[in-house]
Amino acid sequence: MGLVIQKYGGSSLANTEALNAVANSIVSRFKQGDALVVVVSAMGKTTEDLLRKAREVSQTPCQRELDMLVTAGERISMALLSMAIQAAGVEAISFTGSQSGIITTNDHQEAKIIEVRPQRIQEALDSGKIVIVAGFQGVSLEREVTTLGRGGSDTSAVALAAALAADACEIYSDVDGVYSTDPNLCAQAQHLPSLDYKEMKTMALYGAKVLNADAIAFAQRAGIEIRARKTGEGRRESVVRRGGDGRPAFVAVVGLKQVTRCLGLASGPSLEQTFVETSGARMVAAHLSGQDVELWLDRTNIPEDASDTLHAIAKAQDLKAYDCSLLTLLGLTPDRRISALEEARMLFKEASIDLLATRVVDEGINFLVGSDDFEKGTTLLHAHFVEKT
Ligand code: ADP
Ligand code: ASP
Ligand code: MG
């Protein structure tokens, strides 16, 4: 018998039927003898819906109130899941992030976990209960409710696994692990049974949202192995751990669909800060050479109209702004990258895909393409560099 931390994302809790199915599989796992702490995300698209409501009442909602609002999503899931488990005849109790002792910095919307004081969880486990924890949230030393950034429930699970010295940390979603590209985009995506922390972190930062980049960084620091699995199905999984399984070459294609590229002549200092702070977008690349400036900003986790904000800032700074997508070919040895870049240029040309920009980075090669070419470009790169090798 061991202590297992499980995390179920919004995709696994889309409605009460799905939630009941999750409750049943938790109960049967518990009856096999494992002690369980289950971290939950908000149901389905609840977080998006709440954020949309906030924009209906204010164009510039205060970050503290946004945290108060969105944390309600995870509270709904935790209470319903606990009730469903109790209805199946097993004792369960739910806790918010604060009740779970998840102490964070006071940075609303992007708080970092400072420490976990899991006394209440431990007491509940000792009394034989299944513990359900609201993911994505914590409390600051200033006693404010905080959130950990979009996709942050993965980090809650890893932090609890570390604090409770758990025997396993399992993250459940709608895919049975990590693939060489998004399996929902490309049927030929190859399942990756094992990945190194660094590989997974890079994949996540460049768009593989199956696991959260901050969660991987936390797992790497704490030495926690993460098992990514599909809710309710088989036992195929991807394990993220130190060193991977010694595969000779790791090659994958990942993508960020909503990117804004800004370029022109720098007009003043702290340009990057102005973009990030005003829009909330994530800076993926900032290239400054003399007066020339080129910025790539990821809009994935900010409101749909953020593109307008970015364009307005660019205009005020005399920069040009274009909405596009960023594809990244990860892996390949450094000497292979140069020839790969030429091959990719040819491939895109033959497929009539305009390459807006390329960049060779330590982890692989970036390709900026029009947003309409996102899927086509991904499958093209995958077919040539992953399927053929
Ligand atoms: P959850 O709601 O459970 O947190 P997410 O939606 O965050 O789940 O992550 C699962 C999704 O990640 C999948 O539906 C899949 O489309 C996407 N994804 C993107 N890239 C990859 C990849 N390389 N491997 C697996 N899944 C990927
Ligand atoms: N519900 C939050 C989000 O949508 C946290 C999570 O899903 O991990 O970002
Ligand atoms: Mg997720």
Domain ranges for the chain:
3-241, 252-385
Nearest CA to ligand 1 atom 14: 174
* For residue 245, pLDDT beyond 80: no
pLDDT band per the 50, 70, 90 thresholds, residue 207 = very high
208 lines ligand 1 (CB under 6 A): yes
What is the pTM (predicted TM-score) of this model?
0.95
CB-defined site of ligand 2, < 6 Å: 9-10, 41-42, 47, 73, 135-136, 150-153
d(CA 112, CA 106): 8
Which protein residue's CA is at the shortest distance from atom 11 of ligand 1?
Answer: 210
Residue ID of nearest Cα to ligand 2 atom 7: 151
| DSSP notation for 3-17 | EEEEEE-GGG-SSHH
| 285-344: pLDDT as tens digits | 998 887 889 999 999 998 877 888 899 999 988 999 999 999 999 998 888 888 999 999
Confidence of residue 224 (pLDDT cuts 50, 70, 90): very high
DSSP codes, 62-76 = -HHHHHHHHHHHHHH
Residue for token pair 């004792």: 91
- Which ligand gives the minimal distance to the CA of 10? 1
* 11: confidence class by pLDDT, cuts 50, 70, 90: very high
* Share of residues in the chain with pLDDT > 70 (%): 98
218 burial level (CB within 10 Å; 0-12, 13-18, 19+)? buried
Give the pLDDT score at 248. 59
Q: Can you give the pLDDT at residue 246? A: 57
Residues 26-57 pLDDT 10s: 999 999 999 999 999 999 999 999 999 999 99
Residue 175 in contact with ligand 1 by CB distance below 6 A? yes
Q: Report the phi/psi class of residue 264: left, alpha or beta, with left for phi > 0 and alpha for psi in -120 to 50.
A: left
Angstrom CA distances, 155 to 96, 137, 218, stand at 15, 10, 7
Q: What is the pLDDT of residue 247?
A: 60
**CATH (residue range 252-385):** 3.30.2130.10
Would you say 296 and 356 are in contact if contact means Cβ atoms under 8 Å apart?
no
The band of 234, judged by pLDDT with boundaries at 50, 70 and 90, is confident
Contact at 8 Å (CB) between 199 and 330? yes
> Where is 151: in which H helix or E strand?
none
pLDDT, tens digit (0-9, with 9 covering 90-100), for 94-151: 999 999 999 999 999 999 999 999 999 999 999 999 999 999 999 999 999 999 999 9
Which ligand 2 atom sits nearest the alpha carbon of residue 149?
9
CATH of the structural domain 3-241, one choice from 3.40.1160.10, 3.40.50.2300, 1.10.10.10, 3.40.50.300:
3.40.1160.10
